[in-house]
Structure 1
Amino acid sequence: MTACVLAVAWAGGAGAADGRTVADPVSEAKKLATPFLPGANDWSCKPGAKHPRPLVLVHGTLSLREEFLLTAPLYKKAGYCLFALDYGREPLTGLLIGGTGPMTESARQLATFVDGVLAATGTRQVDIVGYSQGGVLPRQYMKFEGGARKVHTFVGISPPNHGGRVELLDALLDEQPWLKAMFKGFFDPLNKFGDKLPVPCRACTDQLAGSGFMHRLNQGGDTVPGVSYTVIVSKRDAFLGRYQDHFLKGPNVHNIVLSDICPLRFPGHLAMMHDAVAARLALNALDPAHAVKPSC
């Protein structure tokens, strides 16, 4: 039997989000893998008894593939088969950044990636840790793209679950002046746009409170049955709105405020992507039977 036929015959039914069979789901997933991330995307990895499900990392908006550089080795060291998705690259900005495309399309990319991970590892479910937009996108995947039965545990770090209250693009660029300068050189060589940069970011619009995307995602409840949810936030993470807006409601939901665990810890939104305590809390949510008290 050829490798192609084996891929199609894989138990669990590898298929595209619209129900079409994908002849080689692993090859399609590899096209979406984050390159050069230490410990991630070893397609020969097979989960062991300690962690029987592969772990998928999902980055945020304006991604330069840096979100998990410091924390991915922690997940790998814990013994996970680790995979990381690189999604949402638009034609104009894709050479520089990811996470800017429409979130409905990005959720379909996540569906393709997870199917490939499941096929490669021979498993039926994954766990997911997502940062910022990556903490919302899997909810779209689970609710509308057939992902609910394929996800066991989902951890969102600083996810704008009910939409941000400020313009996301401006807020992100204001917190990263070096990135703003890079965009200015890329989009505005003649300096004719002033402070408003014409950076295409449809995902930024999707993440605004009251957007059509947010309305559809949260209509009828925040969660889907059968998935364990954990949300990890910082009280200082306010540029997307009130930190309480990140919380989820529903069964099997655990909302954690970082300063409730470590009273003097108030990282901002961007700092949360590298925060060791947030990563430790994520690991505890993934494996509560072997939880370790974070070092503050």
Structure 2
Amino acid sequence: MLAIALRLFIVLELAVYSTLALHYFAATPLAAGLFALAGVLGLRLWITGLTYVFTWLHHSPWPRLGPWQSVAMFLAEYAAFIVNFVLISPFERLWMGTDRLRPDSERPPVLLIHGFGCSRAAWWWMRRRLEAAGWTVATISLEPIYTSIENYVEPVSRRIDEVLAATGAKQVILVGHSMGGLAARAYLRRNGGAKVARLVTLGTPHAGSELAKFGIGENARQMTPGSAWLATLASEAPAIDTLVIFSSHDNYVIPQSNLELPGAQNMAIDGLGHLSMVYSPRVAEALLDGLDPVKRGNKV
């Protein structure tokens, strides 16, 4: 389980940093603790910076941002990294609880599908925004983390059936972030769209990402540009109402042109990183508009 693995990793990381401070710098216990905390934050700052270096080297043509906009984007992405992988995901049960499924005769329930290396905890903030707007929201954790995306189809299918049974609805709306959008498309390819009203993807690498070459697991290999799996997905996907929301400055899906999906409505939002999309008020507003059939119809 991801939450347990993250907790163990953070504890081990803190222990290593504290030991180094105590052994090599003769630090006091308080200073060693502060050093360890700085190490945890610093490592994630370095990782975030590394993604942007790689992005700069391989990016698509994109709208230019001013210096302050660029700094704000970087800090928001770094904060999203900390919030997701240090504060929320390691303690998923505390933050998420169970999904609050209820019957709604007017609107279908929404099933949120997370991305690579994450869990349902990634939706903590976005789920609250959708529920505040009156939507019934369900989540799912895709496990194991590093396996074929095809292995997620059956769990997604079961979760859809559970949500439909609990709410009495005939269809759900699938919303996938990053790899979650590909998992949703894999489900549709295998099962069709009878139980799905529409699909919305956020920052999904529809044509893969160069960064996936450095990822772990079969799912990373499948998200490599030009993979046979992506080619099959593109050739056999059923036609379904689809909205693609992406950032022109995504720092995980490279080049950013791979975020677009032919035949779908593609909507670009500038100045956002990949992880920060699920914590962005601008993305939440675009998503809510995309979920509303009236507003959605006016924008097609």
TM over 0.5: yes
Cα deviation code 1:131-152 (max 9, x no counterpart): 00011111110011x1411111
Give the equivalent residue in structure 2 for 1:132. Answer: 178
Q: Which residue of 1 aligns with 2:155?
A: 109
Distance (Å, rounded) in 1 between the aligned partners of 2:185 and 2:203: 14
Answering whether residue 128 of structure 2 is matched by residue 73 of structure 1, we say yes
Question: In the alignment, residue 71 of structure 1 is paired with which amino acid?
Answer: M
Distance 1:112 1:35 in 2: 21
Aligned to 1:286: 291
Aligned counterparts of 1:231 and 1:39: Cα–Cα separation in 2: 29
1:48 deviation in Å?
A: 3.6
1:204 aligned residue: 220
How much does 1:87 deviate? Answer: 1.0
Q: Is the partner of 1:240 in helix, strand or coil?
A: coil
Residue in 2 that maps onto 1:3: none
Q: Matches of 2:184 and 2:173 in 1, distance apart?
A: 11
Q: Does 1:166 align with 2:211?
A: yes
* Conservation of the 8 A alpha-carbon contact between 1:59 and 1:65: yes
Query: TM-score, normalization: structure 1?
Result: 0.64
**2:241 matched residue in structure 1:** 228
Determine if the alignment matches structure 1 residue 245 to structure 2 residue 258.
Answer: yes
Q: What SS class does the counterpart of residue 231 from structure 1 fall into?
A: strand
Alignment map for 1:112-123 (pairs within 5 Å): 112-123=158-169
Aligned to 1:178: none
In the alignment, residue 211 of structure 2 is paired with which amino acid? V
The CA deviation at 1:240 is 2.4
Distance 1:37 1:216, change over 3 A: farther
Rg: which structure is higher? Answer: 2
Alpha carbons of 1:239 and 1:60: their partners in 2 closer, same or farther (altered >3 Å)? closer
Structure 2 stretches of 5 or more lacking a match?
Answer: 1-91
Task: Pick from 255, 270, 280 the counterpart of residue 275 of structure 1.
Answer: 280
Could you give the per-residue CA deviations for residues 77-121 of structure 1, whole angstroms, max 9, x where no partner exists? 1111110011122xxxxxxxx4x2210011221111111111221
Q: Given residue 284 of structure 1, which amino acid in structure 2 is its aligned partner?
A: D
Which residue does the alignment assign to 2:234? 218
Which runs of 5 or more residues in structure 1 are unaligned? 1-33, 90-97, 171-199, 260-265, 292-296
Provide the aligned length of Structure 1 versus Structure 2. 205
The aligned counterpart of 2:103 is 46
SS for the counterpart of 1:219 is: helix
Amino acid aligned to 2:199: F
Query: In structure 1, which of residues 141, 158, 162 is the aligned counterpart of residue 187 of structure 2?
Result: 141
Secondary structure in 2 aligned to 1:71?
helix
Kept in 1: contact 2:119–2:142 (CA 8 A): no
Distance in structure 2 (CA, Å) of the matches to 1:124 and 1:224:
19
Partner deviation per Cα, 1:248-293 (whole Å, 9 max, x = no partner): 112xx2100003xxxxxx11112112111112101101104257xx
Which piece of structure 1 moves more, 203-212 or 71-80? 203-212
What are the equivalent positions in structure 2 for 1:81-92 lying under 5 Å apart?
81-89=136-144
Tell me the C-alpha RMSD between the 2 structures: 2.1
